[in-house]
Every structure is written in structure tokens, then in C-alpha cells.
Chain A
Amino acid sequence: MTESYLLKNLRAVRGRAYPRLIGSTREPSWFIFDVILPLFTIAGYAYVYKFLDARAELIGYVVLGGAMTAFWLNILWSMASQLYWEKEIGNLPLYLMAPISRMSILAGMAVGGLFETTIQAAMTLAIGAIAFNVVFSLASPVMLIVVFVVTMIALYGMGMMFASLYLLLGREAYHLSALMMEPVYFASGFYFPVKHLGFWAAAGASIIPITLGLDALRQIIFPGGTEDAFLSLNTEVALLSGLCVVFMILSRYALRYMEYLGKTTGRLTLRWQ
């Protein structure tokens, strides 16, 4: 690998991240919707817990889970579906012709999406926490950063893999993303401790990085989070680190294979393009 090739790919990452970073400032109303919409679900679930006279931590979990939905939605609609949309609007062949690694395109999408989504999620979390008097108890800021970073790398690695798998899809891409919303909110325990699903179900759901990430974050930032934990914090960090590697490798292979499949079956462009 020559240096210029590396620089070219870094520029590709920056170039693909740029529209995501700048996009939210071009149309601020979209950003406001993205921050406010999860608050309705948060409020609905928080009031259910209130009516049931539940522990205060559970309301905190709802606020955190509601804020974290932004990342999952970003994975589904702005990572997984992205190459399908690029195909629809005619950009995909340009990506494939460019003298860069396809992984740089995916990495750029991930970096831009992660930055934009982190700001949205932080604002949703802050507003939700104020509205429902959520008490945080941050035991270890360093661990918080470590957990967040490994969760996001694993999650966006999964998103990159999905993007490759979606490459050949048509209209089913939209429906597949829609299908992976509520079932994943349920399986990953966005609004309740995932250990209540039972060990094997929670273990199965742990293939989705946000399951372990949410569980680990709860242990770090809520006073009673450890009692609700599925696995110990160190085990979850170790598993998440493993998922980072697995998804990065899988996304690389998936992209290569799906591109080959797309070329041989003539499905990388649409009929009228």
C-alpha cells in the first residue's frame, strides 16, 4: 500500500463524512425532529413506569434507551440502506469506479453519521433526563468513554456489513429496515434490563452490539445498574471488543462478495440509469 493510496482513502473518508457533518446544519428543522421525536416514546414509557410505581432507575433506562435509539436508526436508515439509495440516485457506480477502497466510503458514512447522531442522542438524553428527573451516578468517566467507543465501533461495523448486504436489495431494503426497528428495541432491551429476557435470549441478542453496550452503560451511569446487569462490565467490554473485530472483517468480506455478485448479475445499476 503506497502512502498516496492511504491519503486518497483518508480523503475519501473525509469526503463521504462531510455531507453528513454539514447536512444537519443545512436543514436544522430535521435535526430538531430527530432530537424531539424519541422524546415522545421516552415520555410514554416513562409514564407507564411511573403509573406502575417502578424504581427510579427504570425511568432512567427508558431515557438512556430512547436516546440510544438514534444510533440504531442511523445504522438502519443511514448505513444499511445507504448503498441501496446511492444505487437509486445513480452514485453507486461512481463509488465503485473511484480508485479507493470501498471500505473508505463506508467508514466515511460511519464517521459522519456517528458524529451527527452523537449530538442528537446527547440532546435527547439531556432533555429526557431533565424532564423526568433522572439521577446519574458516573462511577468511572474513563470506562464510560471506553464502553461508548467500543460499542460504536462494533455497531457501525455491523452497519457497514449491513450496507454491503443491502447492496443488491430493491424495495425490500425499506421493509427490512422497518422490520428491524421494534424487534431490535425489544431484543436489545432498549427500555428494560435485557437480563429479564432470560440468559439465552439475552445472549442471542448480544450479537447486536447495542445490547451489551446499553447494559454496560447502565452499569456505569446508574446507581442500581449493576443489579440489573446481564454480564459483568469487564466481560461486556471484552465481548464488544471482539464484536468490533468480527464486524470489521465481515463487512470487508461481505462488501467484496456482494459487489462481485452485483457485477455478475447486473444489479449494481437500475434499468433506466
Chain B
Amino acid sequence: MAVTNNLKVFKDSAWLGWQMEANWTDPFLFLTYSIVKPIAGTLILVLMYIVVTGGETANAFFSYMYVGNAMYMFVAEVLFGVTWVIHDDREHYMTLKQVYIAPMNFYMYIMGRSAIKIAITSFGVFITILFGVVALDVAIDLTSIDWPLLALSLVLGLASICILGLALGGVSFLTAKHSIGINEGLAGVFYVLSGVVFPITILPTWAESISRFLPVTYWMEAVRRGMEPGVMRELADTSGYDVTGMSNVSDLTIMLYLLISVGVFFALSIGVFRIADYIARKKGKIDWTTAY
């Protein structure tokens, strides 16, 4: 009974999320919007690369950078999306109070709303990668993809980001505009320190040490190994040194690390969310509005 009810909450909140994301315009414009934004973001890096190299994109580092940038959309959008649910419902639509007292599992509501964010982001990531393969010689060969590694790393990586988003969602109960800054700040830390668009070995030693503790670093490595194993081999061969700083780490170790991250984040996030929820109720912040 509880499972059926939770699934219904998940489905209905996903549908609500879809309406909120997409029904402000017609489907064609929404599709254009969903394609233009990620492609433009990616083209910035492409042009930067072309300015320096003169346009040679059939290169291992280009594919490394391109795929990392495309996959990072999940980190930025999902992390932001999960937290934004609280902020948007409370500040903008002023419906959080009603949602909160409804007879349903609040976590399922947030997860349902986030699921649609993941779906929309997945479309953007897919289009970006397709554009890279077709127009820019990004080296992804469907026959050489390590599908089990890619699928498992995607599931674990997205799970850890969603769970982290839940903790930040809890924090947004207690903050006003700060939740946007906290999200973007954390996503920014991952962008710089997790080897998203450049290998972590270029970072100063202290920063590289931090990056080795971040799950996104391992997620990026696992996704690349799954999606473009040839590129990772070529990058190591042409550089002549351990350019990614991860050559000695096995696939199994990476997956194990991601699995542990999901477990640790899950415990921490539920804890943070419950504490924040308790404080928010105690201080009357569930229906708080700050005009943002």
C-alpha cells in the first residue's frame, strides 16, 4: 500500500514538474530552448580550444574535455533542480505549506520533481554529445563503449548528486536567496576540482589532493572510461605520464568509491534534511517568503 502510494506521489510530482518546466511555451520553443542553452555553453569551450590549437578537434584531449563538459550538466542542473524545488514552491508559488501538510511522502515528492529535471538534462546531454560526435569529431564509438560500466556509473553518480541535492534542499528551508549561491558554489567547486574539463594533475598539489576526495572526480573518470575508453588510453599514451592522475585506479575501485559515496551521502543528507526540517518548523519557516 505504502509503495503504491509512494509511486503515485512520484509519478504525480514528476508530472507537476514537467508542467512547471515546459508549459510556459509551445513544445517547439521548449525543444529549441532545451537544445540552444547546452550547445552554446559547450561552444564556448570549443572556441577556446580552437583559438589555441587552430581547429584540430580530432584529438584525445578535445574528446576528454567535451564529454566532461557535457556530463557536468547533470551535476549543475540536477543539484540546482533538487534544491530549487523547495525554494520555488515556497517563495514563488507559495505552495510549500500545502504540499508539506498533504498526506504523502515529502521525499518522494522532491524525487519526483527532480526526476523530470534529470530527464530534461539527459536530453540536453544527449544532444550535446550527438552534436560533438557528428560535427566535431568527438571520439565516441558505439561498439567500443563499456556499457555496464557506463550504466552503473551513471546510476551511482546521479544518485549521489540527487542525494546531495536533498541535503542542500534541507538547507534551503532555512535560507532566502542563499540556496542559489550555495548550489552554484558547490557545483563550481566540482567544476574546478573534479577534472571536468581538464585533468586534475594541472591543479596545484593542495587542490589535487582535495579533488581526490570528491565523488564527482571518480564519477567523471568512470563515465569517460565507460563512454570513451579509447580516448582515455590515447590520452595516457600521448602524454607520456599519468595525465589524469587516475591511471592506477581500477574500474572496480572507482565503482566501489562511488557506491560508498552514495551510502555516506544518503545518511548525511537524510540527517541534514531532518535537522533543517525540524528547525524550519520550529522557527516557522515552512511558509516563509522573502520576496525572492
Contact = CB atoms under 8 A, between A and B. Distances in A.
A33 B184 CA distance: 9
Interface in A187-206: 187, 189-193, 196-197
Interface stretch (B49-57, B131-139, B216-224, B250-258): B49-57
B50 A196 contact: yes
A27 to B, nearest CB: 8
B37 interface: yes
Given A47-B192, A172-B24, A33 B202 contact: no
A44 B196 contact: yes
A230 to B, nearest CB: 13
B202 A40 contact: no
B25 A175 contact: yes
A185 B185 CA distance: 19
Contacts, number: 113
Given A47-B198, A179-B37, A193 B24 contact: no
Interface string A43-57: 111011111111100
Interface size class on chain B is 35 or more
Contact of A52 (B53, B178, B188): B53
A196 B47 contact: yes
Contacts of B291: 89
Nearest to B187: A40
B260 interface: no
A197 B192 contact: no
B40 interface: yes
Contacts of A44: 188, 191-192, 196-198
A98 B37 CA distance: 39
Interface string A22-59: 00000101100110110111011101111111110010
B168 interface: no
B85 interface: no
A55 B48 CA distance: 12
A89 B292 CA distance: 10
B52 A172 contact: no
Nearest to B243: A51
Interface in A161-199: 170-172, 175, 178-179, 181-183, 185-187, 189-193, 196-197
Contacts of A43: 192
Contacts of B36: 179, 183
A37 B202 contact: no
A183 B40 contact: yes
A178 B47 CA distance: 21
A153 to B, nearest CB: 27
Report which residue of B48, B65, B177, B189 has the largest number of chain A beta carbons within 10 angstroms of its beta carbon: B48
Report which residue of A37, A49, A51, A172 has the largest number of chain B beta carbons within 10 angstroms of its beta carbon: A51
B198 A48 contact: yes
A37 B192 contact: no
Contacts of B178: 29-30, 33
Contact of B191 (A40, A58, A178, A186): A40
Given A33-B185, A34-B181, A52-B61, 9 more contacts: A40-B188, A44-B196, A47-B192, A48-B197, A50-B202, A54-B51, A182-B37, A186-B44, A196-B51
20 contacts: A37-B181, A40-B187, A40-B188, A40-B189, A40-B191, A47-B192, A47-B202, A48-B197, A50-B198, A54-B51, A54-B52, A55-B52, A58-B48, A175-B33, A179-B37, A187-B40, A192-B44, A192-B48, A196-B50, A197-B47
